[in-house]
Amino acid sequence: MNKLTLWGIIITVAMLLFTYISVSGSEGGLHGDIINQLGVAGAVALVIITVYVVIGYVRQMQEKTADGQLADEQWDGIGEYLNEVPTGWAIMFLGTMIWGMWYFVAGYPVNSYSSIGEYNKDVAVENAKYEAQYGSITGDRLVEMGESVFLAECKVCHGLTADGIDGKAANLNHRIAAKSVKYTILHGSNNALLGMEMPMPDRNGLFNANSNALITDAQIDAVATYVANGLTGTGDGADVFAGTCASCHGPDGAGIEFVAPDLRAFTPKLVVNVLNHGKKAAIGTMPSFATKLNSKQKEAVGAYITSLSK
């Protein structure tokens, strides 16, 4: 055994010993889940392969001289030998590819620990307990629960009294503001307010039957004020609504199932859909609470917000 090989063995043993000490001192150690075991196996393989390759290159520099056929291409007088890929490199490459495919297809997704998976399991268990304890709550108790959830999750943006904190978020004591109506008419809507993808077109797709033309700026302002005022009164706003909006939202603004939402007041279903899908409007974008709240909590928030405008 020559000196180079001996040094290689010594370095390999030292690095493996250091790896063993490091892993043994960590939580789980060598007897932890498959992620720890794969990590240790990878470290061992990396140490052995690295030392082997370094020894090979050093020995080649010490003992061998370049020979063989040069390639036709040269770069600034520097040529390249037409050498075949080293067998060791080819084996390591193919082995890495096979291991990678196994790891990503079966090793990690199916058999290993996942913090996200553990979290989802814990959430499912807690939601089941929550549903069993509170699932039958209705009426005033549901509204009280919704107020508690609102104060815990929604007051940061909408305020303690749901007034929107001076326009920083929607005022939930009122169904809809004029600027929100105008924004939706100008830009359209695809916020899944019906619980599904049912987009409302922007102004370029809104035809006023009374004037036989696309809706104008003046008509947009008029109908926005009309809707924001609870669809009360007469005049241009009422005429524009009847000629443009009533076909989808109904003559009284109560909405049509699977077509358009109620414009007169909040409904629990409408609130739940906003919580599930989020909403982009005049003030900004409200994020989705689909995974942050369970179904009963969303139902309760819907009941509470609906009660505010009664």
- Per-residue pLDDT tens over the stretch 30-50: 565 666 777 778 888 888 888
Q: Phi, psi (5° rounding) for residue 80? A: -130, 135
Within 13 Å of residue 279, how many CA atoms lie on the same side as its CB? 18
Tell me, what's the pLDDT at 112? 64
Rounded Cα distance between 181 and 170, Å, is 12
Q: Which residues pair with 310 in a beta bridge?
A: none
Tell me, what's the pLDDT at 208? 83
Rounded Cα distance between 71 and 81, Å, is 6
Q: What is the DSSP letter of 281?
A: -
Sorted by where each begins, the domain ranges of the chain are 3-63+84-113, 139-308
88, two tokens: 């060791």
Q: Which residues pair with 260 in a beta bridge?
A: 256
Rounded Cα distance between 240 and 233, Å, is 13
In the chain, count H helices and then E strands: 12, 6
Which helix (H) or strand (E) segment is 81 a member of?
strand 78-81
The answer, as to whether pTM is greater than 0.85, is no
Tell me, what's the pLDDT at 258? 85
Using DSSP, state whether 234 is helix, strand or coil.
Answer: coil
The tens-digit pLDDT sequence of the chain (310 residues) is 678 788 888 888 888 888 777 777 665 555 656 667 777 788 888 888 888 888 888 887 777 776 778 888 888 878 888 877 888 889 999 999 998 888 888 776 666 667 777 888 888 898 889 888 888 999 999 999 999 999 999 999 999 999 999 888 999 999 999 999 999 999 888 777 887 767 888 888 888 887 788 999 999 999 999 999 999 888 888 999 999 999 999 999 998 888 889 999 999 999 999 999 988 888 888 999 988 899 999 999 999 999 997 6
Q: By the 8 A CB rule, do 143 and 304 touch? A: yes
Tell me, what's the pLDDT at 176? 92
User: What region, left, alpha or beta, does residue 86 occupy, with left being phi > 0 and alpha being psi -120 to 50 degrees?
Assistant: beta
